[in-house]
């Protein structure tokens, strides 16, 4: 499914097209795709919130499949291995950020489905160093959302400074938050979920949230930390007001509508407001181990590949329970 022009998913900007099967280059693998989960970042690329870096481009960066061919020098995998490919496609390993173990901020980083073709296709290629083995306990369909919703959710959780026994707020309850809720409970947190969608509130309670409400509501207990998943800037001051002195609010999205002017009182008392940008390979490895330990069970809704526009639109309008997954 190829994106030639940016437009609302309701206008069907993604089109099915026959393309040559890609060949893996030096150090790369070719993967025959089984499924690819849909992410809000895909929506931002399709609609134009993020500029196109490659045109046309095949979106998709939560890819599960099997190794189909190995390029020269590709190591660590063999044909037939089941693998996952996430958002971070490549880093230079040499810039200042990479040298200080912050490869998620690499100056020359490339991203799957944005800088290079992604997983809304039968085949995809990726550097072997940025490909991962998946928990055996998860089917392909249920493993796909772990590769971005899970990994970025894990990094957001770490950057929220959540500790065992603390109260964690989750603003927005889509693919990422429903994964975070599961491992946060496993790690000893009380989780408070803020959502405007009754179906999402029902799922949150089923997964163990101690309270659900709308973002405008104050939770019954003051939060120690919070993660804002919804790309809505007006939520940020609401989250800050719900967090205790010295607490942290982490914003998980790659983009967000404007944050309104803050009263200093909302930030005062050493509250921390921070963004979350991409993830590292270490994040991916740690999270996939944790997901198997919990074990995380993803809620999914399957769509055939040719319905990619429909799947993105359903996610956009909060009509998906958990994560939308495209099946080849």
Secondary structure class of 3 (helix, strand, coil):
strand
The rounded distance, in Å, linking the Cα atoms of 178 and 37 is: 14
Superfamily holding 151-275: NAD(P)-binding Rossmann-like Domain (3.40.50.720)
96: left (phi over 0), alpha (psi -120 to 50) or beta: alpha
Nearest by Cα to 219 from 196, 203, 243: 243
Residue 107: per-residue pLDDT = 95
C-alpha to C-alpha distance for 302 and 170, rounded to whole angstroms = 25
Q: How far apart are CA 152 and CA 145, in angstroms?
A: 10
Peptide bond into 302 cis (omega under 30): no
What is the architecture, at CATH level 2, of domain 2-147+278-327?
Alpha-Beta Complex (3.90)
DSSP percent split of the chain into helix, strand, coil, nearest 5: 30, 25, 45
pLDDT tens, per residue, the chain with 328 residues: 999 999 999 999 999 999 999 999 999 999 999 999 999 999 999 999 999 999 999 999 999 999 999 999 999 999 999 999 999 999 999 999 999 999 999 999 999 999 999 999 999 999 999 999 998 889 999 999 999 999 999 999 999 999 999 999 999 999 999 999 999 999 999 999 999 999 999 999 999 999 999 999 999 999 999 999 999 999 999 999 999 999 999 999 999 999 999 999 999 999 999 999 999 999 999 999 999 999 999 999 999 999 999 999 999 999 998 899 999 9
Task: Write down the pLDDT at residue 137.
Answer: 87
* Token pair of 261 as six digits: 């002017």
User: What value, to the nearest 5°, has the Cα angle with vertex 82 and ends 78 and 83?
Assistant: 95
**In the chain, domain spans:** 2-147+278-327, 151-275
Pairing mode, strands 132-133 and 82-85: antiparallel
CB 240 within 8 A of CB 222: no
């Amino acid at each position: 499914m190829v994106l030639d022009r940016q437009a609302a998913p309701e206008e069907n900007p993604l089109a099915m097209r026959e393309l040559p099967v890609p060949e893996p280059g030096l150090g790369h693998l070719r993967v025959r795709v089984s499924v690819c989960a849909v992410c809000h970042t895909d929506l931002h690329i399709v609609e134009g919130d993020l500029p196109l870096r490659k045109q046309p481009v095949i979106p998709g960066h939560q890819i599960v499949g099997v190794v189909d061919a190995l390029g020269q020098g590709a190591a660590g995998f063999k044909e037939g291995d089941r693998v996952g490919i996430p958002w971070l496609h490549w880093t230079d390993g040499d810039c200042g950020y990479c040298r200080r173990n912050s490869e998620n901020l690499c100056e020359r980083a490339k991203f799957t489905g944005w800088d290079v073709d992604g997983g809304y296709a039968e085949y995809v290629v990726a550097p072997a160093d940025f490909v991962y083995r998946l928990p055996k306990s998860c089917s392909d369909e249920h493993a796909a959302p772990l590769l971005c919703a899970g990994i970025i959710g894990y990094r957001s959780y770490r950057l929220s400074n959540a500790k065992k026994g603390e109260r964690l707020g989750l603003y927005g309850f889509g693919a990422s938050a429903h994964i975070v809720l599961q491992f946060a409970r496993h790690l000893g947190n009380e989780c408070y979920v803020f959502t405007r969608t009754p179906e999402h509130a029902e799922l949150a309670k089923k997964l163990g949230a101690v309270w659900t409400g709308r973002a405008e509501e104050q939770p019954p207990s003051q939060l120690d930390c919070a993660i804002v998943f919804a790309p809505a800037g007006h939520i940020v001051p609401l989250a800050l007001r719900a967090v205790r002195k010295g607490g942290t609010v982490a914003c998980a999205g790659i983009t967000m509508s404007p944050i309104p002017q803050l009263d200093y009182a909302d930030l005062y008392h050493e509250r921390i407001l921070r963004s979350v940008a991409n993830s590292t390979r270490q994040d991916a490895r740690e999270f996939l181990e944790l997901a198997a330990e919990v074990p995380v069970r993803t809620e999914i809704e399957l769509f055939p590949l040719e319905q990619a526009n429909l799947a993105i639109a359903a996610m956009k309008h909060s009509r998906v329970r958990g994560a939308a997954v495209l099946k080849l």
